Amino acid sequence: DAGVIQSPRHEVTEMGQEVTLRCKPISGHNSLFWYRQTMMRGLELLIYFNNNVPIDDSGMPEDRFSAKMPNASFSTLKIQPSEPRDSAVYFCASSSLNEQFFGPGTRLTVL
């Protein structure tokens, strides 16, 4: 298996623009997680899905953030409009019973 796939790997955008991050989980995994990593706050959970259903979105910073999982093999995290404070590395992870596997992350820079 190719592991968790995230795209793009790097994204540079201007404040106010819409940003969409994509994730393909490992086939057969039924849970998917979005995390954000910053120097100040470390790794934070944004939202997670179980069987494509959002279970906990309490970590989503505000209404500018939204996440979807239309099927078992694809998820998106959208920021609209983006702000400079959204600059971070965004990780997607998927899990089987006992382990979360992380993707390589998307480094987002909002100018």
Partner 1 sequence: AQSVTQPDIHITVSEGASLELRCNYSYGATPYLFWYVQSPGQGLQLLLKYFSGDTLVQGIKGFEAEFKRSQSSFNLRKPSVHWSDAAEYFCAVGANSGYALNFGKGTSLLVTP
What is the DSSP secondary structure assignment for residue 30, as one 8-state letter? -
Among 23, 48, 60, 65, binds partner 1 (CB under 8 A): 48
Token pair 């006992």 is found at 98
74 vs 102, beta carbon nearer partner 1: 102
81 vs 107, beta carbon nearer partner 1: 107
Return the amino acid letter for 73. S
Among 79, 95, 108, 110, binds partner 1 (CB under 8 A): 95
Interatomic CA distance for residues 77 and 47, integer angstroms: 9
Interatomic CA distance for residues 19 and 63, integer angstroms: 14
Site residues (CB under 8 A) for partner 1?
4, 30-31, 33, 35, 42-45, 48, 50, 56, 91, 93, 95, 97-105
